Amino acid sequence: MEVLKRILLAVFALTFANSVEARVPLDCPLRDAPYSTNSPLIDILLSPAAKAVVDSHAPGLLRGLPPQMFGPVAPSFSAIMTLRGVAGFAGKAPESVASLDAPLAAVPVTAADKVARCARYDNDRPKFVMPAGRPRILLFEKMTGFRDGPSVDAAHAAMLAMAQKKGWAMVATDKGGAMNPATLAKFDLVIWNNVSGDVLTLTQRDAFRKYLEKGGGFIGIHGSAGDPFTFWDWYVDTLIGARFAGHPMAPQFQDARIMVEPEGAALTSGLPSDWVMKDEWYSFTTNPRKSGSTIIATLDETSYNPVGMRGQQLRMGDHPIVWSRCVGRGRVFYSAIGHRPEVYSDSRHLMLLENAVSWTTEGGKQDCSANPYP
């Protein structure tokens, strides 16, 4: 009887493992990538062998990281962090962990590792029936990195209320599987609500990119371009047009003066020429103005203290904070405003977002439709 029980348990375990693997999409972007100090930290934590290398060659590097932020289960800050980033977090030079690259590269990436890496992605395809004759909007809220619940929830409520007031057809999902050609074809616009972490498989990335390049609309809100480490170059360099550098920590939330630029008239209708708002203010390593964006608003750096963690200098001089751009035939709008829940009840911020939806779905001065499709 005991032998039979063990056999049945083994069969059950094997069946369960196979069913889990069958549900996990296996075309996640870094599935086969060798371990390195540039790997997502979450992948290191998911591999006992890779973590053992780190603990052996860099004792204490991972010790003391807050588990509520750096756990191996997404959403987790570990999904948008690398070992080089951890070194910086600890006040060390990122290059101080370079000696880990060789022993990490020697760790084999097993079939189980690949399943574990891909488990934070999904192939779930929600079904939507969208009405014709009015803007159709998908509010996308999948996160594998940092999820700031209050800001995500405040943005969610504000956008749904705005849609109801304006008569837009809006639905929300946290499923990456929604990024497929058939589903995306139902929508004029996709809004990424503080999306953090790498959230799309290779197939989903391709569908989303083609949707935009063929004329779809995109709005990115705050944290959708605020990850310290990203693993999709097209998203940050082409779609957003800028890479996150950091935000102030002295203090984190500050009053700052927002200045509207005349070139953004279609998107700033009804707004004052400048106003003061308290929020978490992003800086970027690259200026979106230089990558072809139309700047909607900038920050007056004399109105706040742009100093980050451990004295990081975040001054940009010319400091865009809201901009638009064309990606192929698609209209793209990004606003770095939006960490504090309170800003989603600020009439000026809401007007800016309302204008952005109108511009991305109905057009305006910056017409992207004549651009060639790549």
Residues 228 and 328 in one domain: yes
- 259 DSSP β-pair partners: 274, 298
Taking each continuous run of H as one helix and of E as one strand, the counts in the chain are 12, 11
**pLDDT above 90: residue 374:** no
Q: For residue 239, what pLDDT is reported?
A: 98
In whole angstroms, give the CA distance from residue 189 to residue 354.
Answer: 13
Q: How confident is the model at residue 34 (pLDDT cuts 50, 70, 90)?
A: very high
Torsion 225-230-231-234 (CA) sign: positive
pTM assigned to the model: 0.92
Task: For residues 133-141, give the mean pLDDT.
Answer: 97
For residues 41 and 168, state if they share a domain.
no
CB 69 within 8 A of CB 77: yes
Question: In a 3-state reduction of DSSP, which class is residue 337?
Answer: coil
pLDDT recorded at residue 363: 64
What is the tens place of the pLDDT at every residue in 67-108?
A: 878 899 999 999 999 999 999 888 889 999 999 999 999 999
pLDDT of residue 366: 62
**pLDDT at 64 (0 to 100):** 78
pLDDT at 266: 83
**Is the pLDDT higher at 10 or at 164?**
164
The DSSP call for residue 330 is E
pLDDT for the residue 12? 38
The answer as to whether 310 is a domain residue is yes
> In the chain, at which residue ranges do the beta strands (DSSP E only) sit?
136-140, 169-173, 189-193, 217-221, 244-246, 254-260, 274-279, 283-284, 294-300, 320-327, 330-335
Same domain, 148 and 2: no
What mean pLDDT value characterizes the chain?
91
Whether 5 and 87 share a structural domain:
yes
CB burial string 39-63: b at 16+ within 10 A, e below: bbbbbbbbbeebbebbeeebeebbe
Query: Which residue segment(s) compose the domain that 225 sits in?
Result: 136-362
Distance CA(82)–CA(78), nearest Å, equals: 7
Please say whether the beta carbons of 344 and 338 come within 8 A: yes
Q: Report yes or no on 44 lying in a domain.
A: yes
Confidence of residue 329 (pLDDT cuts 50, 70, 90): very high
Q: What pLDDT is stored for residue 199 in this prediction?
A: 98
Please choose, from the candidates 249, 243, 247, 195, the residue with its C-alpha nearest in 3D space to the C-alpha of residue 218.
195
31-45, 156-170, 259-273: segment of lowest average pLDDT = 259-273
Band (129; pLDDT cuts 50, 70, 90)? very high
Q: How far apart are CA 332 and CA 347, in angstroms?
A: 22
Q: How confident is the model at residue 367 (pLDDT cuts 50, 70, 90)?
A: confident
Is residue 141 located within the same domain as residue 91?
Answer: no
Question: What is the pLDDT at residue 41?
Answer: 97
pLDDT category at 3 given cuts 50, 70, 90 is: very low
Domain membership of residue 167 (yes or no) is yes
Same-domain status, 253 and 107: no
Q: Do 333 and 356 contact (CB within 8 A), yes or no?
A: yes
**What CATH number is attached to the domain comprising 148?**
3.40.50.880
In 98-231, where does DSSP find H-type helix? 101-105, 111-118, 149-166, 181-184, 202-213
Residue 369 lies in a domain: no
| Domain match, 66 and 101 both | yes
112 inside domain: yes
Q: Is residue 214 part of a domain?
A: yes
- Residue at a domain's end among 88, 120, 152: 120
Q: Are residues 351 and 283 in the same domain?
A: yes
Q: How far, in Å, CA of 338 to CA of 223, rounded? A: 8
What is the pLDDT averaged over residues 323-328? 96
Q: How far is residue 24 from each of residues 7, 28, 124, 152, measured CA to CA in Å?
A: 26, 9, 10, 26
Query: What integer pLDDT is reported at residue 84 of this predicted model?
Result: 96
Q: Band the pLDDT of 65: cuts 50, 70, 90.
A: confident
Confidence of residue 13 (pLDDT cuts 50, 70, 90): very low
Residue that terminates a domain, selected from 75, 90, 120: 120
Strands 189-193 and 217-221: parallel
Share of the chain above pLDDT 70, in %: 92
CA distance to 19, 117, 236, per residue, from 46 (Å): 20, 8, 26
User: Is 268 found in the same domain as 242?
Assistant: yes
Per-residue pLDDT tens for 275-304? Answer: 999 999 999 999 999 999 999 999 999 999
Q: In this predicted structure, which of 20-34, 126-140, 221-235 has the lowest mean pLDDT? A: 20-34
Same domain, yes or no, for 274 and 213?
yes
Closest by CA to 179, choosing from 216, 234, 220, is: 216
Domain boundary among 59, 94, 120: 120
Q: Determine the Cα–Cα distance for residues 84 and 262; give it in Å rounded to an integer.
A: 41
CA 100 to chain centre: 28
Say whether both 19 and 152 belong to one domain: no
DSSP 234: I
Domain count, the chain: 2
Reported as a pLDDT band with limits 50, 70 and 90, residue 19 is: very low
Q: Please write the tens of the pLDDT for every residue from 184-234.
A: 999 999 999 999 999 999 999 999 999 999 999 999 999 999 999 999 999
Asked whether residue 125 is assigned to any structural domain, the reply reads no
Same domain, 47 and 153: no
pLDDT band at residue 109 using 50, 70 and 90 as cut-offs: very high
Report yes or no: 304 and 255 within 8 Å, Cβ to Cβ.
yes
247-268 per-position pLDDT tens digit: 999 999 999 999 999 877 789 9
Task: Determine phi and psi for 333, rounding to 5 degrees.
Answer: -130, 135
66 in a domain, yes or no?
Answer: yes
